[in-house]
Structure 1
Amino acid sequence: MAGELESLEKLLEKHIPPDELREVWRLLYGKEIRPLDLPSCASQAASKAGFDLQGYGFEAAQEQTRRPRIVRVGLIQNKIQLPTTDPVTEQISALHRRIAEIVEVAAMCGVNIVCFQEAWSMPFAFCTREKLPWTEFAESAEDGMTTKFCQELAKKHNMVIVSPILERDSVHGDTIWNTAVIISNTGAVMGKSRKNHIPRVGDFNESTYYMEGNTGHRVFQTAFGRIAVNICYGRHHPLNWFMYSMNGAEIIFNPSATIGELSESLWPIEARNAAIANHCFTCSINRVGTEHFENEFTSGDGKKAHRDFGHFYGSSYVSAPDGSRSPGLSRVRDGLLVAEMDLNLCRQTSDKWNFKMTGRYEMYADELTKATQPDFKPNIVRE
């Protein structure tokens, strides 16, 4: 069943009377957002290529002293294209072709910034704990074949590209990192942001390949707004979102790879809550499909040896600072979600709720500093 259900939205539409469905959406997803009128050529191209295409708009109030700051963001989720036993370079090339096809449609839809899923140029093979051939997918963030591919796409379409890859850092002893490369709409590599939090949960014991990142909470000033990248497991850490926001992020991307049994009940909540708490937009991307590996592996959690993770459930979506969110993409198909957002909504929501103005950061900082000390004693009052 996990790999068959198209989406929660389609299930609700099938079983809830139309006159009640609008109220259900309001209760589930907050303020009503408008569907985007995407070009027919884009819809036709998506249909021909077999991927889900959806578009929604988030609006802000008109201001007297600031113009609207409109940006279109694209989220791409996809399956791997070839069996995991095929040659490494062929697997990478096949994924490049698929992504180029979907980015072409994003360009038709006027997308300014596009983000791909975590480790998009390879299978999510970290469950296997095998080194070869999986470490061969690791590339230079600055001049690897995937970064060069994305640079060409960025220049061609005047589009900022967020490309999460497995990075090989040859300057520092061939160290491997889980990294997002940010490429300007001019085609220049703006920089990179490494995964801050590494899971050690069942199959997701990724420290076999890389450790916690060392780039902190970088925010990138693009031509279309300030963006940050909170990779996958970082979404479970509220302070991780918070620090990107404190550094000025208006849009925080969360490229992920996560399966239904582990996290699907958490997925709709965490990034949406982060958007509310931090007065910013959050964009959650999850891959789709079930990836099979040649050799059995175990998880250290008592389960029998197996050859796949489980079902990556897609369901990529966008959340706004006012608590509204888009429907999710398909749970089973490749997809492109286009979101038009007015970044003025970030400050407008902040002015309304004042979470940052009323935050007691000096108190938190003082108490967190104490909590990290070896002689820390919890502040508990007893009779």
Structure 2
Amino acid sequence: MNADSQSMAAPKREIEGLEKIFDQLSTEDRDDVFRILYGKQLERVQYDGILETDAAAKGIELKGYRIPAAPEQMRAPRLVKVAAIQNAIVLPTTAPIKDQRDAIHKRVGELLDIAGRAGANVVGLQEAWHMPFAFCTRERLPWTEMAEAVDGPTTKFLIPYAQKYNMVIVNPILERDEAKDDVIWNTAVIISNTGRIIGRSRKNHIPRVGDFNESTYYMESTLGHPVFETAFGRIGVNICYGRHHPQNWMMYALNGAEIIFNPSATIGGLSEPLWGIEARNAAIANHVFTVGINRVGTEVFPNEFSSGNGKPAHKDFGHFFGSSYVAAPDGARTPALSRTSDGVLVTEVDLNLNRQVKDHWGFRMTQRLDMYAKSITAAADPDYRPHIIREN
């Protein structure tokens, strides 16, 4: 967020992230901390000096890691470089709508250039990345003016980057379905490395908690759990609040996803203790790679709004804490990007690890879908009563 945006309020100082604290430990202690908290120490990727310098000059944190698989005799490695991009808004929320969007486009273009030069094959952007996260103001205008068609200005902006760098882009936008009565959805558009639109996925679970009462803007998706076959693997997109629902992750995995992105917008006071757990647990439980992406910064709005919890009205949601990371099916995870800075995290993964872990742990073999299908069907009945046995 730039100085103009920050001048609208004086947010409290935020720590940069746990990794900065870990750096203060002795080497031995640090190794133990990473082993216990992150599964293992991952190999850090070093980029050429020019790329590192360019990223730093633009205020972009660039991190790279490798998550390998065991070598196999019958399959070659399936190496894919997965990138997560997190960013703050650029202009104050009082600026003209088009100016706000265009400024964010320009900034994210810089981040995409860094990701592309780092060799990223599949890039995920954060939830509704082309606009402030204005939904919880519950105001319609001017924010609904930022809703776009799937092939609208934001997708058109990204297509040349997909073509230039031969990379797939997961493009979460506020969608206006112009073909169906201008209905608004929270959507991710999947752009192929060829520059074509492969399809779209929509947010399945809409929060109704505190400021995040987004049901005033859009409804739950009716598209289910689509998975997209790309040149670099099969991907699913579990948008934001869906990460709190284990069944949501599971269905993308059952539909064949090898990498599941979780583009999000979540704040420190609400869900930060959950952030590092949910996507990582989903990777373990479903034998897939997961990518948690969260925006950064404190977005201040011109009009006060209330959470309906008796606390004073306010003009911001709180601090979006970034901390984007990649988790692997074996429980390993990368260190996170900063809590306070724009950043690009590029992680080279070997998709062979999915099947290797599946064979080792056998969760799919033991998950008993038939039993749960019957139980969940019964529980969905309004007349269902829990199966509780009491002492006579």
Same fold (TM over 0.5): yes
Counterpart residue number, 1:8: 18
Residue 325, structure 1, aligned to residue 333, structure 2: yes
> Structure 2: 5+ residue runs without aligned partners?
1-10
Residue 92, structure 1, aligned to residue 114, structure 2: no
Equivalent residue of 2:179, what SS? helix
Residue 17 of structure 1 deviates from its aligned partner by: 1.7
For 1:59, the aligned partner's letter is: P
For 1:351, the aligned partner's letter is: D
Residue 160, structure 1, aligned to residue 176, structure 2: no
Counterpart residue number, 1:22: 31
Question: Pairwise mapping of residues 120-199 of structure 1 onto structure 2 (< 5 A)?
Answer: 120-141=129-150, 143-199=151-207
Q: Deviations over 1:315-352 (max 9, x none)?
A: 00000000000000000000000000000000000000
TM-score, normalised by the number of residues in structure 1:
0.98
Equivalent residue of 1:310, what SS? strand
**Alignment root-mean-square deviation, CA:** 1.0
For 1:128, the aligned partner's letter is: T
Question: Pairwise mapping of residues 221-232 of structure 1 onto structure 2 (< 5 A)?
Answer: 221-232=229-240
For 2:258, the aligned partner's letter is: E
Equivalent residue of 1:60, what SS? coil
Residue 116 of structure 1 deviates from its aligned partner by: 0.4
Identity within the alignment, %:
62
Is this contact kept in 2: 1:39–1:108, CA < 8 A? no
Picking from 351, 362, 367, the partner of 2:370 is 362
Residue 40 of structure 1 deviates from its aligned partner by: 2.1
Equivalenced residues, count: 381
For 2:236, the aligned partner's letter is: A
Residue 375 of structure 1 deviates from its aligned partner by: 2.2
Residue 376 of structure 1 deviates from its aligned partner by: 1.4
CA distance change for structure 1 residues 339 and 318 in 2, over 3 Å: closer, same or farther?
same
Counterpart residue number, 1:80: 89
Question: Which whole-Å CA distance do the structure 1 matches of 2:21 and 2:386 have between them?
Answer: 47
Residue 39 of structure 1 deviates from its aligned partner by: 2.5
For 2:171, the aligned partner's letter is: S
Counterpart residue number, 1:282: 290
Counterpart residue number, 1:61: 70
Question: Which whole-Å CA distance do the structure 2 matches of 1:309 and 1:113 have between them?
Answer: 30
Residue 120 of structure 1 deviates from its aligned partner by: 0.1
Residue 41 of structure 1 deviates from its aligned partner by: 2.2
Is this contact kept in 2: 1:3–1:332, CA < 8 A? no
Question: Which whole-Å CA distance do the structure 2 matches of 1:342 and 1:166 have between them?
Answer: 32
Moved more, 31-40 or 70-79: 31-40
Residue 3 of structure 1 deviates from its aligned partner by: 4.1
Residue 32 of structure 1 deviates from its aligned partner by: 2.3
Residue 37 of structure 1 deviates from its aligned partner by: 2.1
Is this contact kept in 2: 1:198–1:211, CA < 8 A? yes
Is this contact kept in 2: 1:3–1:311, CA < 8 A? no
Is this contact kept in 2: 1:194–1:213, CA < 8 A? yes
Question: Which whole-Å CA distance do the structure 2 matches of 1:236 and 1:375 have between them?
Answer: 26
CA distance change for structure 1 residues 344 and 2 in 2, over 3 Å: closer, same or farther?
farther
Residue 201, structure 1, aligned to residue 209, structure 2: yes
Moved more, 143-152 or 176-185: 143-152
> Structure 1: 5+ residue runs without aligned partners?
none
